[in-house]
Structure 1
Amino acid sequence: MAQPTRPASAQTVFAPWTDPTAQPLIQFKNVTKQFGDFTAVDDLTINIYEREFFALLGPSGCGKTTLMRMLAGFENPTHGEILLGGKNIVPVPPNQRPVNMMFQSYALFPHLSVWENIAFGLKRSDMPKDQIGDRVAEMLRLTRMEKFAKRKPHQISGGQRQRVALARSLAKAPKLLLLDEPLGALDKKLRNDTQFELMDIQEKTGTTFVIVTHDQEEAMTVASRVAVMDAGKMIQVDTPAGIYEAPNSVYVADFIGDVNIIEGNASVSGEKVDVHFAEGVDPIHAVTDKPITDGQRVSYAVRPEKISVDREPLADRANHVKGKVEDIGYLGNVSTYHVRLPSGQLVSALMTNSRRLARRDFTWEDEVWLSWTDTAGVVLTE
C-alpha cells in the first residue's frame, strides 16, 4: 500500500479499515491459544493493516502478550490461522518471519557500542557487507543517535537506550515491528516525549507497529486503532477517539480514562432516552441510536470533563443536578470535583483552572449545580 500523501491544505485521513477493498497485512482467523485448561486467547478474529500503529490494551492476563508472541512465532495457536501478507505464518520459524520484536528490557549487548548493537543483526543477515555501514548510519540519523555511536549502553540514558533498541529492530526493515511495553522503564516525562518520537519514526519508516501496553494514555496517544482486550477476547476495536467517546460497554468505558457510571431504567421516545436513576430526582436526558426498550436496565456513562460545575444550572444544558462538593483534587492545570448528589451518587467533574487557586469559585461543602448536554454521555446496555 502506498504511503498516504499530504496535500498542502489538509492531512489525508489514514483509515484503511474503513475501505472494504483494502487488504490486511495481518489476519487472525478464529485464533485460540490454550495453556492446559486455561484459554489465553479465545476464538479471536482481527485484521491489522499496513502502516498501522496498532495497540493491544488490557489488564494483566487478558491475552495481549500471548497474541504478540504468536505473531512473533514464540507460541503457536491451538486453533486458527495467522496470515501475514496473505500467507499462513504459523508453521514459519521466528527467525524466518519478516517480523522483529522490541522487548521492554531492550536486550542490548553491554560490551558492544551503539553502532555495533545496531549492526549486529545486519552482519548475520544476507545484506552485503559494504551496505551495512550506510544502513546503520541511516538508523542513527532516524533515531537522532549519531553523536552516541561509539558509546556503550551504560554510557547513555534510558531514553537513548530505548532508541538504540528501536534502531536495531528497524535496521533489517521488517514488515512488522512488535513492541512489548517499550516505554515501561522510562519516567513519565521521558515516556511522554518518546511516545511522539515513536509515532514520528513509525510514520517515516512506514513499518507496521503493534504495541502491547497496559498504559491507556500511551495507547491513546500513539495508536491509529486500539484493541481493548479482556479474558482473551477483543471487547472493542476502534480509533482512540471512538474508544473514548463511544465505548461499546461499561467495561471499556470504565477501563479507558475517568468516567461516571450511573445505572437506571430507560424510558424511550425515538432517539431520546431518559434514564431514571433515583426516586424524586429528574431523569438523565440522553440521545442514542441503540435499540432500547421502555423499562430496560441501562448504564449511563459520562466523562468528568463533559460536566460543568456552577453556582446555578446552565440554561442551555439538558441535564442539571444539584449536589454538595465532597472532595477536590488539584492537578495544576485542572481540578477534579467530587460532588455528592441527594440520591447518594458521587459524580466527578473536571474543570480547567483558568483562575489562580486563591480565586477558586468552589470549595469543600459548597452546594453546586452540575450541568451537561444530552449528547455528552452514552447509554450502554452491556
Structure 2
Amino acid sequence: MPECAFAPWTDPGAEPLIRFRNVTKRFGDFTAVRDLTLDIYEHEFFALLGPSGCGKTTMMRMLAGFETPSSGHIELAGQNIVPVPPNKRAVNMMFQSYALFPHLNVWDNIAFGLKRDGMPKDALRERVAEMLKLTHLERFARRKPHQISGGQRQRVALARSLAKAPKLLLLDEPMGALDKKLRQETQFELMDIQEKTGTTFVIVTHDQEEAMTVASRVAVMDEGELIQVATPSAIYEAPNCVYVADFIGDVNIIEGAAHRAGEDRYTVHWADGQAPLMAASDKAFSPAQNAFLAIRPEKVLVTAERPADAVNAIQGRIHDIAYLGNISTYHVEVAGGRMLKAQTANTRRIENRGFTWENRVWLSWDSTAGVLLER
C-alpha cells in the first residue's frame, strides 16, 4: 500500500479494529510474546516482520484463535475475542501451504466454506464469480490445483479466504513458495485486492522487501517484543535502534563518542587520527556518550578525490565489489580495518566504470544522511 493520506494511527480519535493489550504467551518456560500492546486499524495492510522465533507467528495464531494468551487480552471491533472459538471469529487465515483440496476444482475450492455455512445457491454462485473475477481466475474455474501454477494456487487460496468477507484476513508467509519474480508480481496483486475489498490484512513475513512493499505499517519484532512500529519509509529512514537499522536493508554502523556541535548537530569521534563525523539528530546525547551512526550505502558517494564541499569524508581502499546489475556495492576498508559499503547505480556500461579492486577512494555523505542512535 503506497503511503498517502491513509494514516488512522495518527488520529487520536480513531478506533483500532484490533487491540493487543499487555499480551503475553508462554510455552512452558519459554516466553514467545512478552507484554505486547499494539493497535491495528481497519483497512490496514499490516506486516509483522522479524526473524524465525521472534513471536510473529504466535501473534497471528492468537488472533486466529489457535493459541490463547497466557495473560492480557485481544479485541476485534471492540469485542474481547480471547474466549471466542476460531470458527466464530470474523477472521480468516491463509496458510503458507495454501491447504487447497486437491480433488476439488478451483470453483469448488472457493465455494467450500460458503457451502458449509449454508449460503443459498444463487448467492453462492454470485459470490464465487465475484471472487474469481477479483483474482483473475475466471478461465481456471474448472481446473484442479495440480493443473494451475503456484501463483494461481496462491490466488485460489486468497479467493477462498476472502469469500466469506471476513473483517480480518491473516496471511502466514503467503508468498514463501513462489520464485522471486512471481513473488514481486503477486505482492502488487495482493495490494490491489486488499484495496478493492477494504479488508484488513495482517501478514507475517521474514522477507523485509515484501513487508516494505505491501504494508501500510510494519512491526519489527525480536524475542517476543515489538522493537519499532512505523510506516515502511520511517522504518527505513528513521530506525529507532541499531537492531532495526541492521535488520531492514543494508546499513553501515559506525560506533563512536558523540559531542554536541550546535543545535541538533553532533560530532562523532570514531577512530584515532581521523576527523570526527558530523551528524544531525533531534535526540539529545550527553557529552562523549557512546553512539551509533547508521548510514545507508546508497547515501554514500564514492569518488577518486575528496569532494571539496564534503561534510563527512573518509578515505579507504576498495576491498570487494558486488555487481548486481542495476547497482554495484563497493566494500571499502577504512581506518582501523572497518568495512563500509557504498552503492552506486549502474547508469553506464560496466567497461566504462571508474573503480576496481584495491583502488583508493573517498566515501562522503551529508550530515543529514545518517541517523544517530543510542543503542
Query: What is the CA–CA distance in structure 2 between the aligned matches of 1:318 and 1:160, rounded to whole Å?
Result: 52
Cα separation, 2, equivalents of 1:53 and 1:11: 11
Alpha-carbon spacing, 1:29–1:11, altered in 2? closer, same or farther (3 Å)? closer
Tell me the CA shift for residue 236 of structure 1.
0.2
Give, in whole Å, the separation in 2 of the partners of 1:48 and 1:224.
Answer: 10
Provide the aligned length of Structure 1 versus Structure 2: 373
Partner of residue 350, structure 2: 357
Contact 1:121 1:172 in 2 (8 A): yes
- Distance (whole Å) between structure 1 residues aligned to residue 355 and residue 266 of structure 2: 32
Aligned: 1:212 with 2:204: yes
The partner residue of 2:321 within 321, 328, 353 is 328
Partner of 1:164 in structure 2?
A: 156
For residues 158-180 of structure 1, give each alpha carbon's deviation from its aligned partner in whole angstroms, at most 9, with x where no partner exists: 00000000000000000000000
Q: Tell me which of 227, 232, 254 is aligned to 1:235.
A: 227
The CA distance in 2 between the partners of 1:208 and 1:294, in whole Å, is 46
Distance in structure 1 (CA, Å) of the matches to 2:193 and 2:370:
36
**Structure 1 residue 11, shift from structure 2 partner:** 9.1
> Where does 1:220-259 land on structure 2 (aligned, <5 Å)?
220-259=212-251
Alignment of 1:31-110 (within 5 A): 31-110=23-102
- For the pair 1:177 / 2:169, whether they are aligned, the reply is yes
Instruction: Give secondary structure in 2 for the equivalent of 1:109.
Output: coil
Q: Which one of the candidate residues 342, 364, 371 is aligned to 1:371? A: 364
Tell me the CA shift for residue 88 of structure 1: 0.1
Q: 2:272 is matched with which residue?
A: 279
Deviations 1:216-261 (A, max 9, x none): 0000000000000001000000000000000000000000000001
Shift in alpha-carbon separation, 1:12–1:251, aligned structure 2, 3 A: closer
Paired with 1:301 and 1:37, the residues of 2 have a C-alpha distance of 36
Supply the AA of the counterpart residue of 1:335: S
Map 1:135-174 → 2, pairs under 5 A? 135-174=127-166
Query: How much has 1:312 moved relative to structure 2?
Result: 1.5
**Cα distance, 1:291 vs structure 2:** 1.5
Residue 185 of structure 2 aligns with an amino acid whose one-letter code is D
User: Could you tell me which residue of structure 1 aligns to residue 302 of structure 2?
Assistant: 309
Query: Structure 2 CA distance, aligned partners of 1:96 and 1:128?
Result: 20
**CA–CA distance in 1 between the matches of 2:56 and 2:208?**
14
In the other structure, the counterpart of 2:5 is 13
Cα deviations across residues 79-124 of structure 1 (Å, max 9, x unaligned)?
A: 0010000000000000000000000000000000000000000001
Identity %: 70
Q: Deviations over 1:192-233 (max 9, x none)?
A: 000000000000000000000000000000000000000100
Contact in 1 for aligned 2:3/2:216 (Cα 8 Å): no
Looking at structure 1, the residues matched to 182 and 198 of structure 2 have their Cα atoms a distance apart, in angstroms, of 24
Please identify, of 219-228 and 343-352, the stretch whose mean Cα deviation from structure 2 is larger.
343-352
2:31 and 2:162 mapped to 1: Cα distance? 33
**1:338 partner SS:** strand
Amino acid of the structure 2 residue aligned with 1:246: A
User: In the alignment, which residue of structure 1 is the partner of 2:183?
Assistant: 191
CA contact (8 A) 1:308 1:370 kept: yes
Cα distance between partner residues in 2 of 1:317 and 1:114 = 60
Is this contact kept in 2: 1:27–1:82, CA < 8 A? yes
Q: TM-score, normalised by structure 2?
A: 0.98
Q: Counterpart of 1:26?
A: 18
Q: Which runs of 4+ in 1 moved over 4 A?
A: none
**Take 2:312 and 2:29, find their aligned partners in 1: how far apart are those partners?**
49
The equivalent of 2:112 in structure 1 is 120
The structural deviation recorded for 1:27 is 0.1
- Secondary structure (helix, strand or coil) at the match of 1:70 reads helix
How many angstroms does 1:12 deviate by?
5.3
Query: Deviations for 1:253-307, whole angstroms, at most 9, x for unmatched residues?
Result: 0000000011000111331111101011011100001120111001110000000
Q: For the structure 1 residues 12 and 369, does the alpha-carbon distance in structure 2 shift closer, same or farther, using more than 3 Å as the test?
A: closer
- Contact 1:317 1:374 (C-alpha < 8 Å) held by counterparts: no
* Aligned amino acid, residue 317 of structure 2: K
How many Å separate the matches in 2 of 1:342 and 1:299? Answer: 17
Instruction: Normalising by structure 1, report the TM-score.
Output: 0.96
Counterpart amino acid of residue 242 in structure 1:
A
Partner secondary structure for residue 336 of structure 2: coil
Structure 1 partner of 2:289 = 296
RMSD: 1.1
SS in 2 for 1:186: coil
For structure 1, which segment, 105-114 or 337-346, has the greater mean C-alpha deviation from structure 2 after superposition? 337-346
Which amino acid in the other structure matches residue 216 of structure 1? Answer: Q
